[in-house]
């Protein structure tokens, strides 16, 4: 989280803009929260340049909830194509089998989730109701640098992306997307809010068993207030959207500015890894994530010493996911370049001492 946003939230915790109430104490149907929600939606639309024919929904259930909610709404019980590039898309693929007929169009399991088959090689179905991919695999550190043009690949299906872990870190090409979903807890705000951005024509096709509170049509028709929305999460997300909109990098602003910073941060860290004898990142260069950088120590017996020293240097949460091992630096939007510089200096010093 950007510190500025946390400070603002703290300042207004007990009294939001002189209303005499904190956001957590407001009725979600009152005019104050109505204003917070409308502004958050409008700011997110501006920030991500979401076209008018897309709806922005604020939901609950997280990324894993959407693994069920998407097929319940979009699959019509039929075939759905999955491109599996790591842990999260593998989970999505598995969950969809409860509601639809998932078809594995492509997988990078052979490479140990380190490379991705070219889109031209994907075995897309004739009649899939959508194609699912995870545009940034948080655990494996794989990111789509551009989204596939499904029409050019011969598919008529809309593309569904799980952009949980890189939302707002770069622009989105909406001409290639039918639906994007993401938990807020990486780049946007506290856990508990799930963002769904969906093309109008994909609403209204939910399976009869779809819970009403998870039916996109119902959520859209009720301005994300069919049931009580995660009000605090929406409020803090709204503060983050304003913070993001105000970011500048030369002539760029908003997510374009963030993208420049994220490129600089990622280049610095990958450069340090690639030029070292101790650290290694196994992801094919074209697919390396700007947000999540997994790396291993060639001498794994040094792992604990690396983590202990990092902690002493104030560098936290570097232990890699247990399925990948080693280390992982998550350098989300709110991580400043100085944070990555500190990590790189520590890594160099550790290598020098332990070479």
Rounded to the nearest whole angstrom, what is the least distance from the CB of residue 6 to ligand PMP in the complex?
20
Rounded to the nearest whole angstrom, what is the least distance from the CB of residue 232 to ligand PMP in the complex?
16
145 is in an annotated binding site: no
| Rounded Cα distance, 63 and 134, in Å | 10
218 is in an annotated binding site: no
CA distances from 198 to 86, 227, 352 (A): 24, 19, 50
223 is in an annotated binding site: no
Per the listing, tokens 């069919």 go with 226
| Rounded Cα distance, 217 and 55, in Å | 10
State phi, psi for 79 to the nearest 5 degrees: -75, 135
Catalytic pick from 81, 122, 186, 287? 186
Rounded to the nearest whole angstrom, what is the least distance from the CB of residue 164 to ligand PMP in the complex?
4
Tokens of 98: 């409860």
- Is the Cβ–Cβ distance between 161 and 50 less than 8 Å? no
227 is in an annotated binding site: yes
CA distances from 346 to 144, 188, 197, 294, 311 (A): 29, 28, 40, 16, 11
Tokens of 58: 């604020």
Q: What is the DSSP letter of 190?
A: S
Rounded to the nearest whole angstrom, what is the least distance from the CB of residue 202 to ligand PMP in the complex?
20
**Residue 52 burial (CB count, 10 A):** 7
State phi, psi for 54 to the nearest 5 degrees: -115, 140
Judged by beta carbon, residue 64 or residue 264, the one nearer ligand PMP is 64
Residue 88 appears among annotated catalytic residues: yes
Judged by beta carbon, residue 255 or residue 347, the one nearer ligand PMP is 255
231 is in an annotated binding site: no
For residue 153, which of 209, 197, 105 has the smallest C-alpha distance? 105
**Which distant-in-sequence residues (6+ apart) come within 8 Å of 3 by Cβ?**
334
Tokens of 97: 């089998």
Catalytic pick from 43, 162, 243, 287? 162
Residue 319 appears among annotated catalytic residues: no
Residue 186 appears among annotated catalytic residues: yes
Catalytic pick from 16, 88, 232, 287? 88
Judged by beta carbon, residue 140 or residue 276, the one nearer ligand PMP is 140
138 is in an annotated binding site: yes
Residues found near ligand PMP in the complex (CB under 6 A): 62-64, 88, 134, 138, 162, 164-165, 183
Judged by beta carbon, residue 172 or residue 297, the one nearer ligand PMP is 172
**Which distant-in-sequence residues (6+ apart) come within 8 Å of 161 by Cβ?**
132, 133, 134, 135, 147, 177, 179, 180, 181
Judged by beta carbon, residue 165 or residue 262, the one nearer ligand PMP is 165
- Is the Cβ–Cβ distance between 238 and 32 less than 8 Å? no
174 is in an annotated binding site: no
Judged by beta carbon, residue 63 or residue 230, the one nearer ligand PMP is 63
Order the strands of the 101-107 sheet from edge to edge.
54-59, 194-199, 179-183, 159-162, 131-134, 79-84, 101-107
Instruction: Show binding-site residues.
Output: 29, 88, 138, 162, 185, 227-228
Instruction: Show binding-site residues for L-glutamate.
Output: 29
Instruction: Show binding-site residues for pyridoxal 5'-phosphate.
Output: 88, 138, 162, 185, 227-228
| Catalytic machinery residues | 88, 162, 186
């Amino acid at each position: 989280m950007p510190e500025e946003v946390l400070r603002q939230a703290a300042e207004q915790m007990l009294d939001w803009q002189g209303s005499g109430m904190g956001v957590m104490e407001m009725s979600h149907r009152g005019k104050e929260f109505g204003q917070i929600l409308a502004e958050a939606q409008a700011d997110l639309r501006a920030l991500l340049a979401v076209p008018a024919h897309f709806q922005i929904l604020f939901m609950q259930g997280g990324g894993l909830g959407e693994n069920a909610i998407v097929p319940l709404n979009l699959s019509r019980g039929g075939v759905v194509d999955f491109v599996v590039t790591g842990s999260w898309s593998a989970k999505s693929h598995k969950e969809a089998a409860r509601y639809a007929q998932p078809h594995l169009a492509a997988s990078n399991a052979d490479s140990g989730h380190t490379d991705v088959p070219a889109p031209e090689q994907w075995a897309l179905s004739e009649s899939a109701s959508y194609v699912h991919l995870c545009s940034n695999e948080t655990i494996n550190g794989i990111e789509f640098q551009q989204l596939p043009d499904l029409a050019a690949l011969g598919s008529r299906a809309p593309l569904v992306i799980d952009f949980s872990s890189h939302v707002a870190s770069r622009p989105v090409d909406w001409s290639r997307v039918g639906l994007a979903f993401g938990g807020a807890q990486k780049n946007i705000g506290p856990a508990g809010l799930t963002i769904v951005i969906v093309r109008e024509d994909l609403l209204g096709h939910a399976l009869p068993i779809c819970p009403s509170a998870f039916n996109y049509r119902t959520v859209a028709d009720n301005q994300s207030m069919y049931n009580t929305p995660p009000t605090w999460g929406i409020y803090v997300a709204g503060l983050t959207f304003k913070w993001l909109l105000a970011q500048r990098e030369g002539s760029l602003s908003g997510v374009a500015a963030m993208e420049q910073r994220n490129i600089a941060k990622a280049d610095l860290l990958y450069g340090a890894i690639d030029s070292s004898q101790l650290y290694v990142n196994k992801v094919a260069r074209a697919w390396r994530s700007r947000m999540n950088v997994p790396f291993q120590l060639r001498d794994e017996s040094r792992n604990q010493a690396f983590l202990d020293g990092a902690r002493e240097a104030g560098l936290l949460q570097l232990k890699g996911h247990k399925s990948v091992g080693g280390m992982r630096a998550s350098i989300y939007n709110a991580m400043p370049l100085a944070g990555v510089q500190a990590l790189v200096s520590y890594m160099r010093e550790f290598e020098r001492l332990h070479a």
